[in-house]
Amino acid sequence: MKSFIIKSLAIILLAGTASCSKDALRDYDKTQELNAIESVNDPFLLSSVIKQTALFYQAFGYDNSKLPCAVQYMGRNFQGGDNFYAGFKQPSDDLYTALNILKLIDGSIRITQTKGSKIHEGIFTTFRVLLFSYITDFYGDIYYTQALKGREAILYPKYDHQVDIYTDLLAELDKANSLIAAGTEPVSSTYDLMFAGDKVQWQKFANSLKLRLLMRASAKLPSAGTKMAAIIANTAQTPIFSAKGDNAAIPFIGTRSDNSWKGGTLNWTSVEEFDKRRPGKALVDKLANLNDPRLPVWIAPIEKPWTNNMALDGVGFSSTDPNGFTYTSTWEYIDRANTAIAAQSANILDSNKMYAGFVAGMPGDWKNGNGHYNTAAGGVVGNFKVSKFSQLLRQNSSPLLMAMIMNSDEVQFILAEAAVKGLITGNADTYYRNGITFSLQRWGISAGNIATYLAQTSIALPADNAGKLAKIADQKWLALFLVSTETYLDMRRTRLPDIFKNGYLGTYEFPLRYRYPGAELGQNKNAYDAGVAALVPAVDIETSKMWLLQ
Amino acid sequence: MKSNFSLIKSLPVILTLFCVVILPAKKITAQRIASVALSDQGNLAEGIEVSVDKTISLEMFMQRFQRVYNVYFSYEAAELKAVKVVDGNIEEQRTKDPEALLKKVLNPAGLTYEIVSKVYIIKRSAPVNLVVQKNNPGVAVAIGITGTVTDKNGPLAGVSVSEQKTGLSTVTNASGKFSLEVSTANATLVFSMVGYQTKEVKLSGASTINVVLEAVVEDLSNVIVTALGISRSKKSLAYSVGEIKAEELVRASNVNLLKSLDGKVSGVNLTNLSSDPTSSVLVNIRGTTAMPTANNANVSIKGQPLYVIDGMPVGTQTFTSKDGVDFGNILSQLNPEDIDNITILKGGSAGALYGAEGGNGVIMITTKSGKGNKKGIGVSFNSSAVVDKAYQFIESQMDYGQGERAFEWQYDNTDTWGPKLDGTYSGEYWDVTKQKWLTKSMTSSRENRMQAYLQTGNTLTNNISVYGNYDKGSFRLSLADMNNKGVMPNTKTDQKSINLNTEYRLTDKIKISISSSYIHTFSPNKANIVGSNSTINNLLFNFPANLQKLSEMRNYWLTGYENIQQNGAIMKDNGVDVATDNPWWATYEKIHRFARDNFFGRIQLDWQLAKPLSLMVRTGMENVKEEYEYRQSWGKTNMSSKFANGDGQFVTGTNSSNINNTDAILTYNKNIRKFSVTVAGGANYQFSNNSSQEMTAGKLATPALFTLANAMPGQLSVSSYGWGTSQSNSLYASAAIGYNNSLFLDITGRKDWKGILGEEKINYFYPSASLSWVASETFKMPEIFNLVKGRLAWADVGNGLVRRRSVDSYTYDASDWGAAKTISINATLVDPNIKAMHSITKEAGVDIWMLKNRMKFDFTYFIKDQKDQIDNIPTVLGTGYSGMLTNIGDVQSKGFELGLAVNPIKTKNWNWNLGASFTHYKATITKLSDQFAPNGYVFAPYDGKTTVKIAVGEEIGNIYEQNPILRVKSGKYAGLPILDGSSGEFQTSGDATDRGKLGNFNPDFILGLNNTIRFKQFTLNLVGSFRQGGKYVSVNQQYLESNGRANTTLGSGANNPWWVGGRDAANGGLAWPAEGSSQWSAVNNNNDGQRSDWQDASYAKGVFVNPNFTGTTPGDGDYVVNGADPKNTFYQIPYNSYGDVIWNFSATRTYEATNFKMREISLAYTIPTKFISRYKVNNLTLALIGRNLFQWNKSGRNEDPESAFSGVGTGQGVLRATLPSIRSYGAKLSVDF
């Protein structure tokens, strides 16, 4: 009996230690984690979509130097492939970053539809159009109707034709405008990082975006003008960005690398990365010729400017820019008796100036821009003869530095161009001057300086349409400085400003598109082949023309 | 101490006495008396009385017994075979209970048996004989005999001493002494004891006699522990298992258990992560059948076996690594002195009972217990001291200093393409001792930096164990302490362990056993010794010969900036910012601290329910907790941003894991005529739980304060957090049927149910079958054959189960956007039709034991098909997912393994044992999913400018070059590189099919050799392993060449077939052609930009297309051979033409991995008993030990091809900076009381 008790006890004990409570299995937590998509709140989705999209766009405006170099806002004085469009010659994966955000947006739209959050649905739809238009604008035909449907067993999504994508995107923007107008749910002012809960601003964004797309497709869509006119004819129903604060942009927080301006010290702890990017000669010269007050805001004085005046040799001076950043410079005499300087004298393009830009199309690892000869002292990136960007761009955050998607000045320039081209009725000069004003205001230029600037004859629009378009393009080009993709897409479309043969670029052809990502060829070949077939010529290279340009 | 226990010790003897005297005394039969009487009359009796039971040898009896009852048996000592027993006439009594018969036959001969896991072990029953003596009426004359029994270690207690004729017997006391009264002065005494060879001594009138017994181990080894802890007779096994005994694990005092397996088992490939004695080991059994994938081309970690400690599965073990530091795992922590044996279940059939986890083989580790020792209490003490010393240092040229060209000094360039260090060039340099810029004529330090940096490490281990063994139970308690000082300065590991195993018999049918271990490891600092982030990397590649000696760099803080800024080896020209770390700063201010607590144990109940039925219930767990810190002081960041942004870093993290297993197994064992049947059925429940957390202070505010609160604003982040739980329920059954003791059929089946959530639940069935035929039992074989066996096995085992659903889930971002939280999407796509991954294994083999078992040979051929590997196929992001989890394909591994054990010499003074193991296998991809590789092949990115091809027919381990040189495809220049038309440099071919195969990192075969020679008190043991074949890619060489360190960079020669020239005229540098001397402007432009008076023009061999050619496809006439005409040659300075160009092409730095390693040498001397017995010491052994004393590499390079990893456990076959080889030698002392 005793042994039986011992036996039984032993077995019970063993079995007892083995058992496991349901809580220990964490099945509740596991279920929660798997079903997390259903539990996210609208505000969190809103802040996330705004943040991710704005940062994604801003990257194309400055730190990713492919586009800014292509449109000559900047040149690289180290690893200079972007100076002559080298980045366009390889398959580009940029598409995939956009798709990752679109996945978030698609999920968010599904949730808002379940919850009936119409304003949020409209906002998300606007961003969805923005990102899909980015994809098709840069690649051509690409997946749209079959995109992001892996769970519906579409592992090889087919591409849609660009014309069909454009048609649908425009319709989606109309839908977004009506959804936002009809929606009644609250929009969190904290989580609406862009417009602090003002839903009319979101309508403005949707309609302004529509203007941008219509202008881009105006050569191909016969109805573009009518549609543009319809928007501006009824701004109560379809409001657009029309004032200086109407900007789809968010300021940086500046406390961590991931919420700071890329040029700032939190992201680029070493100044080298900052110093590799130099303002382009086209930009500096244009600003200087126009006495543009934005010049000292954006650009720093040369460290060791050239002078023809021997007396100035070694004389230093300091300067302070409109944002209070100070710089010291030292004049250096072009001493042709010095063999090192003499050897470089042919490269000295800018002398007796405080500001000089980097010549377009300089080859890679070229340290000698503007006759910089002391390469040993300058190191890999330290050219003393070309301006750097101003210290403003070295900040982690500033009221002037925004992650920008679209500003009110761009809308005015679109309207100015449309008016000149007769797509809409309206005074091109007014739109043009509004555009300039909004842009200068955005960079903190005083009203007085704006008036002085506008009063110059070099600003006034000439009589001929070609001249008008060129002037408008010049100002739009300046206004879009640091604004992402738009300048490139405009230059591709209008061939203005005509700076394509600047510097060493004579033999390089301006690229018209991105090559498809390498993975498309590997993992989605049939769709890829169809996409390439729609190009003219039907080759996946950067100079083939997509529907928009055909 | 010992005498205190004598009462306890004798207690079981008294109890046994009581039982035997009181209970069976009455039952002594007439037959028994007859038998005793018969033996009194000796041989005479045989012919006279046939009707009375005649005697036969036990061996003969047992052979018959085995044939009738189909049981396994073994002798505790070989000489028992010769013991005469009555012929029990088994055939007539076959219907009776075999155990009753056995008792009936054995007991009169002074024998008994014990059933250990169904195996009958025949042994002496000494105490019973004592009783017989007292009651023996046949003794008429009594002659007193006294004596002492010893073994080579000293006096032996408990030895049975009996007179052969009469059976009168006694046992020796604690000091080995005995006294016995015998019947005649000419009597023959038999001395026997478990584990010793029985000895017969004729008295010949002597009244005092001293006897030395010799130990035996051989016969017990016929039993082997198999899956789920089931003991089986080796004879009946139908599959190959590897087995290593305790003594082999500790002979060379290796602190890392797995390392001591190397060279000792066939079919197993062990790979060291580095030469560091405490580094982790990767184990691959019969070839890695994991397929590389585009996401993870490294297969060395995949395919690790399941580990089982004392019957408790503890999962597949890899290792813990942080920041490139290898902290080992539970296996590297186990105290080798506590391990009784390791069994490696190689094939699927052996491991099939482990179901979903057994697919890569199983390594079963059994810890020592008190059982099996001699009765009573004993103490063992071991101590060893071993010195670790690095050897085989990589060489580099020390004649040229910093710079790009040999006429120009550059203090800020760590490449050594600069001027000759013969004192003719003077230049500025940062004097680390004086901490200022000085100018001097540059000379070479002539210092091998690695040699100067590394120190002599040492390892001290102490181990004490106490065991007790009694009839009712046993225990063993062991305490161990290990201290390792690394060869890297300022590195250390301390380890303490406690192990307690106990066993107690509640009744004669119920046994409870408990085993438990606690191990604590603490490394105050363990250095990064593998890969590009290590100090070693810095010393190898960033320390030009002209820098000062390391001993002059010890003041690693900048004076006035102590704890703030380091005094670098190379400073930036402002003199406060560091360009190249001072290695001493990295040594003392970059600290990886690590602690691991590990508890594992189990409790087990064995219950003999009824005669054929027994029940075993056991539950156990393994619990690991790891704590990790990375502490980097201030000292690195530029002074200008240091105070604004902070410097240094602090990371702290914990991992914990817990795995629980419970099994219940019911076993039925019955012999039916010529069949023996053993059926077992059982159930298992497993639950595991793990969590990890890591927090990082990215930059510190106060220089040397390592707390999270000291993080600079915004620099605190939770790097990882996660928990995981899993559970499984399993049912399993096995049936082993033997026929006539010669045919054995085993069938097993296991079903696993996994998953916690309903939607994730999945189950799978794993069957196996195996058949073995002992031909030597069926046919009469020539006498030299003791065992001839053929075997066949088939199994379907698992490699894990999954069923997950596709998920679009959100996670909150680590940092907020101001006041707003943000989220990110994490999406995974899972093939809804995904199948479980499993392996089908087949093996066939033979075992031949001959010449009285002095030669044992085994051969096994195996095929292992891993089916339906689960991994991610890449998808275009247009699907919304970067990949889909699905079945990507199959891999097949084929090979064979041979084992040979020979005992060529065995005399009183000499004993020579020779063992050899041979392993060969190749694993090949046999099937690929069309979704995974739509074009039939995929290249996966790998390290060191290499890539891995995934295609049907590809061998696992193949490495391809990433950048094939663009070559002329046809015509008379076919095969020559096509040089770039503007610089004359090599170009990369964009065509993936041009990629050449560099080789395979797996060996063609591994030969392990094991040699033990004993001469009297000396034992010499040698273990070596030879690995033939395999290639590795040296990233070391890539850096050495591009940095201008390698001797091959001085000038062109046999080693650089594609380059002509040198860094100066003396080394073959060519004169630069005159300015504008070429007919082509492209050549002039290129050459004039670099030309100088210095003679260092060099060029790449190949052809370039005539610059005037305008067509699309150049023909033979359009190519110009570079170098043919000096004026029309694209020249480069060596820095570019060699340093940069060679960088991209891995084919030139692929080397043979063939090597031989002398892994262990030990020479032990056991002090003769006569010197130590008076101190009550049983054994005192002193050994000199050496590990890895020398190594031969076919490539001739000072690199260990086995440590070819690009990081900790990653990129096998690609060797980045790692420690040189390390040899260890020292002494070990063992004392047993």
Q: Does B878 touch chain A (CB under 8 A)?
A: yes
CB B556 within 8 A of CB B567: yes
What pLDDT, on the 0 to 100 scale, is given for residue A38? Answer: 65
DSSP H or E run through B785: strand B785-798
Q: Considering only CB atoms, which chain B residues are within 8 Å of A517?
A: 876
Least confident span in B175-184, B728-737, B845-854, B1161-1170: B175-184
Q: Does A3 touch chain B (CB under 8 A)?
A: yes
Contact B876 A523 (CB under 8 A): yes
Q: What is the mean pLDDT of chain B?
A: 83
- In three-state secondary structure terms, B610 is strand
Asked whether residue B583 carries a pLDDT value surpassing 90, the answer given is yes
Contact A30 B756 (CB under 8 A): yes
Q: Check residues B696 and B117 and name the one with the higher pLDDT.
A: B696
Q: How far is A73 from chain B (nearest CA, A)?
A: 28
Q: What is the pLDDT of residues B602-654, one digit of tens each?
A: 999 888 888 788 899 999 989 999 999 999 999 988 887 788 888 999 999 99
Interface of A with B in 414-473 (CB under 8 A): none
Q: Does A38 touch chain B (CB under 8 A)?
A: no
What pLDDT, on the 0 to 100 scale, is given for residue B276? Answer: 80
Q: What's the rounded mean pLDDT across residues A144-169?
A: 94
Q: What is the pLDDT of residues A354-389, one digit of tens each?
A: 999 999 988 756 667 898 888 777 777 888 999 999
Asked whether residue B304 carries a pLDDT value surpassing 70, the answer given is yes
**Distance linking the first and last C-alpha atoms of chain A:** 98
Q: What is the pLDDT of residues A14-47, one digit of tens each?
A: 665 556 667 778 888 888 777 766 667 888 999 9
Asked whether residue B593 carries a pLDDT value surpassing 80, the answer given is yes
What pLDDT, on the 0 to 100 scale, is given for residue B180? Answer: 83
Q: What is the pLDDT of residues B947-999, one digit of tens each?
A: 999 999 999 999 999 888 899 999 999 999 999 888 888 888 878 888 989 99
Q: What's the rounded mean pLDDT across residues B787-812?
A: 83
Q: Identify the band that residue B196 occupies on the pLDDT scale cut at 50, 70 and 90.
A: low
Integer-rounded Cα Rg, in Å, for chain A is 28
Asked whether residue B749 carries a pLDDT value surpassing 60, the answer given is yes
What pLDDT, on the 0 to 100 scale, is given for residue B573? Answer: 81
Q: Check residues B906 and A191 and name the one with the higher pLDDT.
A: A191
- Among partner residues A31, A96, A193, which is closest to B817 by beta-carbon distance? A193
pTM to 2 decimals? Answer: 0.77
Q: What's the rounded mean pLDDT across residues B852-867?
A: 91
Distance, C-alpha B100 to centroid of its chain: 46
Least confident span in A166-175, B246-255, B373-382: B246-255
What pLDDT, on the 0 to 100 scale, is given for residue A364? Answer: 58
Q: What's the rounded mean pLDDT across residues B1181-1193?
A: 92
Contact A255 B512 (CB under 8 A): no
CB B178 within 8 A of CB B170: yes
What pLDDT, on the 0 to 100 scale, is given for residue A14? Answer: 61
CB pairs under 8 A between A and B: 179
Name the percent of chain B lying above pLDDT 90: 32
- CB burial of A336-362 (b: ≥16 within 10 Å; e: otherwise) equals eeeeebeebeeebbbbebbbbbbbbbb
The one-letter amino acid code at A474 reads D
Q: What is the pLDDT of residues B876-934, one digit of tens each?
A: 889 988 888 899 999 999 999 999 999 998 888 899 999 999 999 999 999 998 888 87
Contact A157 B818 (CB under 8 A): no
Give the strand order in the sheet containing B937-941: B937-941, B946-951, B958-961, B997-1000
Q: What's the rounded mean pLDDT across residues B346-371?
A: 84
Asked whether residue B672 carries a pLDDT value surpassing 70, the answer given is yes
Residue of B944, B958, B940, B957 whose CA lies nearest to B997: B958
Asked whether residue B160 carries a pLDDT value surpassing 80, the answer given is no
Q: What is the pLDDT of residues A456-512, one digit of tens each?
A: 999 999 999 999 999 999 999 999 999 989 999 999 999 999 999 999 898 889 999
Q: Which region, left, alpha or beta, applies to residue B263 given φ > 0 means left and ψ of -120 to 50 means alpha?
A: left
- Among partner residues A18, A151, A255, which is closest to B713 by beta-carbon distance? A255
Q: Does A256 touch chain B (CB under 8 A)?
A: yes
Asked whether residue B6 carries a pLDDT value surpassing 60, the answer given is no
Give the strand order in the sheet containing B72-75: B72-75, B119-124, B111-116
Asked whether residue A300 carries a pLDDT value surpassing 90, the answer given is yes
The one-letter amino acid code at B347 reads G
Q: Which residue has the tokens 């900790």?
A: B1208
Contact B641 A265 (CB under 8 A): yes
The interface pTM score, or ipTM, of the predicted complex is: 0.86
Q: How many CA atoms lie within 13 A of B198 on its CB side?
A: 23
Best residue in A47, A105, A365, A540 to probe B by mutation, most B CBs within 10 Å?
A47
Q: Considering only CB atoms, which chain A residues are within 8 Å of B753?
A: none
Asked whether residue B1206 carries a pLDDT value surpassing 80, the answer given is no
> What is d(CA B226, CA B902) in angstroms, rounded to the nearest whole number?
24
* Dihedral Cα B99, B100, B104, B106, nearest 10 deg: 10
Q: Check residues B173 and B353 and name the one with the higher pLDDT.
A: B353
Best residue in A8, A19, A26, A34 to probe B by mutation, most B CBs within 10 Å?
A34
Asked whether residue B18 carries a pLDDT value surpassing 80, the answer given is no
Q: What is the pLDDT of residues B520-579, one digit of tens each?
A: 999 999 988 877 778 898 999 989 999 999 999 999 999 999 999 999 888 888 888 898
Q: Which residue has the tokens 């800018």?
A: A350
Q: Identify the band that residue A226 occupies on the pLDDT scale cut at 50, 70 and 90.
A: very high
Least confident span in B68-72, B215-219, B486-490, B1180-1184: B215-219
- Among partner residues A44, A107, A150, which is closest to B881 by beta-carbon distance? A150
What pLDDT, on the 0 to 100 scale, is given for residue B1000? Answer: 92
Asked whether residue A4 carries a pLDDT value surpassing 70, the answer given is no
Q: How far is B608 from chain A (nearest CA, A)?
A: 11
> What is d(CA B148, CA B126) in angstroms, rounded to the nearest whole number?
17
CB B648 within 8 A of CB B634: yes
All residues at 6 or more sequence positions from B765 whose CB lies less than 8 Å from its CB, including other chains: B749, B750, B751
Q: What's the rounded mean pLDDT across residues B700-710?
A: 91
Q: Give me the DSSP letters along B194-233.
A: TTB--EEEE-TT-SEEEEE--B--GGGGGEEEEGGGEEEE
Q: Does A103 touch chain B (CB under 8 A)?
A: yes
Asked whether residue A330 carries a pLDDT value surpassing 90, the answer given is yes
Q: Does A100 touch chain B (CB under 8 A)?
A: yes
Residue of B767, B863, B836 whose CA lies nearest to B349: B767
What pLDDT, on the 0 to 100 scale, is given for residue B24? Answer: 39
Asked whether residue B491 carries a pLDDT value surpassing 90, the answer given is yes
Interface of A with B in 165-194 (CB under 8 A): 190-191, 193
Q: Identify the band that residue B590 occupies on the pLDDT scale cut at 50, 70 and 90.
A: very high
Residue of B696, B581, B690, B571 whose CA lies nearest to B634: B581
CA angle A426, A427, A432 (to 5 degrees): 120
Q: What is the pLDDT of residues B801-812, one digit of tens each?
A: 667 778 887 788
- Among partner residues A11, A35, A157, which is closest to B879 by beta-carbon distance? A157
Q: What is the pLDDT of residues B388-412, one digit of tens each?
A: 999 999 988 999 999 888 888 888 8
Asked whether residue A199 carries a pLDDT value surpassing 90, the answer given is yes
Asked whether residue B15 carries a pLDDT value surpassing 70, the answer given is no
DSSP H or E run through A25: helix A22-25
Q: Considering only CB atoms, which chain B residues are within 8 Å of A266?
A: 645, 714
Q: How far is A478 from chain B (nearest CA, A)?
A: 30
Phi, psi at A5, each rounded to 5°: -60, -45
Phi, psi at B533, each rounded to 5°: -100, 10
DSSP B757: S
Q: What is the pLDDT of residues B1029-1072, one digit of tens each?
A: 999 999 988 899 888 898 888 888 776 778 899 999 999 899 99
Q: Check residues B319 and A443 and name the one with the higher pLDDT.
A: A443
